[in-house]
């Protein structure tokens, strides 16, 4: 089994308007993931608004979450930053706090070249000693990893996995095949884009990096287990029942939607960091309606 | 005359590998701009790597630069940040340091909606009291201002100008005309993208926000003055002599190129903040060659 596999659940990081993390609320979110039995927790991912939190607040979030897991579930921590030295420090912090791996995106302001991203990743892996998951997220970073760059990075000691962005469903099998043949056997290959997870997992991806699992872990876990057990029919049935949620994600973004779900479920009432705004009342009603439908469908 | 007009020169912000600003080198850069007589200085713009510098270092850069100008030249300071509260603080710092205006980009990690950007800009303008220049830079922020959003923002008290991105040369005249008719009379309209500046200025834009002017102010100023005086022939002649430089900007990015020019001219030997790498030796040779050609051409 690869270093990371199964369901990696990405919770939000509840914080107040000044950017101070609400560690009690974060612990409630993490406790739900532990009880559900997800395979890993993706802390301080894009959903966890890592780029909007200071180093100190990221440290507080990490230590609260890892305390809550009691070491029972691997924590993959977002360590991305605009500056290389800052990303190194964040990875060192994550290692010191007990994170299993660091999730590193090619965060950029000035557009970066392939060589710059290669140096950035190699430096963070080498100087931190923390196993690094390549976080390919062009939707936020606007950097696109080429197949050649992934192949180069996968040879770097300490770079152990990749979280791929959404692919078109019909292209996942061939994308996965090509990436598998270009990376070491132990290299873990996973996908985000919740709506393509069923397809990715049944095609043999190692990991589903899931936003929805951060707030609704049970249903996501059932999907992953069905796919892992070769029960494609069940995996696709669960995926179909989640289709209205995927539509919300596409319409309002997964980030804004899961903040609303956390509120509706009574888990926490946090709002995303400004300038990101919470969903408007009409959108919230739509989310509430979808949640009700989902409950009926899965009952 | 509009609030901002003529040539706004954007210097690099020399800093050491730990992100500490070299204020002596910055003052040398600013002194060159003062001697040349540029109309304003765009401090801590994208060329000034503002997103890679801490609040404290941005403050140090601002106070060193404004001290060097002696208040004789308006300083427009980059105040962009991912968080709204941070951008407010940076704008307050800039105001306290004596900046004339703040240059605010729609910096994003999670992609932003139009309403979010509107709120972000309004909040920074209202809470800081610093006149705000809309910094439309999709090449770094990946946010695209629509004509409707610019029209809305131009009505907000304290939002006084726009720095537009490069347009296709053949579209500048109509773009400028539409924006002029949708914004208040006192609203200052300028363009970046050095290679289209001659066209923008001769079509009646208020300001050229120029990367090259941050290191070669004299030639840029001659171009602007020619355009302002209606001497289109001379403006286009100077622009043509700069064509090899524009090619370098397009090939290596203006940011990396002007670091090299500053080094070649002996002004300062700083490197851009990592992960951004300095140009490779072969590219540096190309830059040196272009500089020599330019000197001959303008002799």
Residue B230 region, left (φ>0) first, then alpha (ψ -120 to 50), else beta? Answer: left
Q: What is the pLDDT of residue B258?
A: 98
Is B83 in contact with B120 (CB distance < 8 Å)? no
Chain A residues within 8 A of B257 when measuring between CB atoms: none
Q: Is the peptide bond before B148 cis (omega within 30 degrees of 0)?
A: no
The count of CB pairs under 8 A between chains A and B is 89
Would you call A178 an interface residue with chain B, using a CB distance cutoff of 8 Å? no
Asked if B135 contacts B78 with a C-beta cutoff of 8 angstroms, the reply is yes
d(CA A123, CA A86): 11
**Per-residue tokens: A36:** 């559900």
Chain B hits for A278, Cβ within 8 Å: none
Is the minimum CB–CB distance between B277 and chain A shorter than 8 Å? yes
Q: Distance between CA atoms of A163 and A88, rounded to whole angstroms?
A: 19
Q: Which residues have a Cβ under 8 Å from the Cβ of A56 and sit 6 or more positions away?
A: none
Rounded distance, CA A57 to CA A54, Å? 5
Residues 6+ apart with CB under 8 A from B233: none
* Overall domain count for chain A: 1
B139 in A contact zone (CB under 8 Å): yes
Closest CA to B84 of B114, B60, B116, B58: B116
**Coil, strand or helix at B107:** coil
Closest CA to B36 of B223, B242, B194, B200: B223
Domain membership of residue B280 (yes or no) is: no
Distance CA A85, CA A120 (A): 9
Residue B134 within a domain: yes
B218: number of Cβ within 10 Å: 14
Q: At which residue do the structure tokens 């509260």 appear?
A: B85
Q: Residues with Cβ < 8 Å from B37, sequence gap 6 or more? A: B217, B221
Instruction: Give how far A243 is from chain B: nearest CA, Å.
Output: 23
**What is the extent of the structural domain holding A51?**
6-230
- Which CATH number is B58's domain given? 3.20.20.70
Query: Residue holding tokens 């560690």?
Result: A23
Q: Say how far apart CA A164 and CA B80 lie, in whole Å.
A: 29
Alpha carbon B58 to its chain centroid, in Å, reads 16
Q: Quick check: B253 contacting A, CB < 8 Å?
A: yes
Contacts with B, A 144-163, CB within 8 Å? none
Model pLDDT, residue A2: 54
Q: Which residue out of A110, A137, A257 would a mutagenesis test of the B interface target, given it has the greatest number of B Cβ atoms within 10 Å?
A: A110
Residue B235 is assigned to a structural domain of this protein = no
pLDDT of amino acid A195: 87
Question: Around B50, how many Cα atoms within 13 Å sit in the side-chain half-sphere?
Answer: 30
Residues of chain A with pLDDT under 50: 1
> Residue A81 domain-assigned?
yes
**pLDDT tens-place values along chain B, 299 residues long:** 456 899 999 999 999 999 999 999 999 999 999 999 999 999 999 999 999 999 999 999 999 999 999 999 999 999 999 999 999 999 999 999 999 999 999 999 999 999 999 999 999 999 999 999 999 999 999 999 999 999 999 999 999 999 999 878 899 999 999 999 999 999 999 999 888 888 999 999 999 999 999 999 999 999 999 999 999 999 999 999 999 999 999 999 999 999 999 999 999 999 999 999 999 999 999 999 999 999 887 76
Mutate to test the interface with A, among B110, B250, B253, B283 (most CBs of A within 10 A): B110
Distances (CA, A) of B285 to B214, B237, B270, B276, B299: 21, 25, 17, 19, 21
Does residue B191 carry a catalytic annotation? no
Collapsing DSSP to helix, strand or coil, A256 comes out as helix
B263 lies in a domain? no
Nearest Cα to Cα of residue A250 among A289, A215, A212:
A212
How distant is the Cα of B282 from the closest Cα of chain A, in angstroms?
15
Bridge partners of B15, per DSSP, are B21
Between the CA atoms of A164, A167, A169 and A173, what dihedral angle is there, to the nearest 10 degrees? Answer: -60
Residue B251, in any domain of the structure: no
Is A284 among the residues known to form the active site? no
Q: What is the pLDDT of residue B3?
A: 67
Does B290 reside within a domain?
Answer: no
A120 touches chain B (CB under 8 A): yes
Asked if residue A237 is part of any domain, the answer here is: no
Select the residue of A49, A111, A116 nearest B277 (Cβ to Cβ).
Answer: A116
CA-to-CA dists, residue A46 to A51, A94, B83, B155, angstroms: 8, 16, 14, 33
Distance (Å) from the alpha carbon of A124 to chain B's nearest alpha carbon: 11
Residues A91, A101: Cα–Cα separation, whole Å: 9
Name the residue with tokens 């102010």. B217
Kindly provide the ipTM of the predicted complex, given to two decimals: 0.96
Q: Count helices and strands (H / E) in chain B.
A: 13, 8
What's residue B162's pLDDT? Answer: 98
- The closest CB to that of A120, out of B111, B120, B275, belongs to B275
């Amino acid at each position: 089994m690869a270093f990371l596999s199964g369901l990696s659940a990405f919770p939000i990081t509840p914080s107040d308007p000044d950017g101070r993390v609400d560690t009690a609320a974060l612990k409630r979110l993490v406790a739900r993931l532990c009880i559900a039995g997800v395979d890993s927790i993706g802390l301080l991912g894009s959903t966890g608004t890592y780029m909007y939190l200071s180093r100190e607040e990221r440290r507080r979030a990490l230590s609260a979450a890892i305390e809550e897991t009691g070491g029972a579930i691997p924590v993959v921590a977002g360590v991305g930053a605009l500056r290389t030295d800052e990303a190194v420090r964040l990875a060192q912090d994550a290692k010191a706090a007990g994170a299993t791996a660091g999730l590193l995106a090619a965060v950029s302001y000035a557009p970066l070249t392939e060589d710059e991203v290669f140096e950035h990743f190699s430096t963070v892996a080498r100087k931190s000693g923390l196993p690094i998951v390549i976080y390919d997220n062009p939707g936020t970073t606007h950097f696109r990893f080429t197949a050649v760059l992934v192949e180069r990075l996968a040879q770097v000691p300490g770079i152990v996995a990749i979280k791929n962005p959404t692919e078109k469903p019909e292209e996942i099998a061939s994308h996965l095949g090509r990436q598998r043949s270009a990376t070491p056997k132990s290299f873990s290959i996973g996908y985000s884009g919740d709506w393509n997870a069923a397809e990715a997992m049944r095609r043999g991806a190692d990991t589903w990096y899931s936003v929805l699992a951060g707030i609704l872990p049970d249903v996501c876990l059932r999907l992953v287990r069905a796919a892992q057990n070769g029960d494609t029919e069940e995996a696709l049935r669960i995926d179909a029942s989640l289709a209205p949620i995927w539509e919300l994600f596409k319409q309002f973004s997964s980030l804004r939607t899961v903040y609303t779900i956390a509120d509706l479920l009574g888990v926490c009432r946090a709002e995303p960091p400004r300038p990101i705004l919470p969903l408007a009342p009409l959108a919230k009603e739509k989310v509430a309606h979808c949640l009700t439908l989902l409950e009926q469908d899965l009952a």
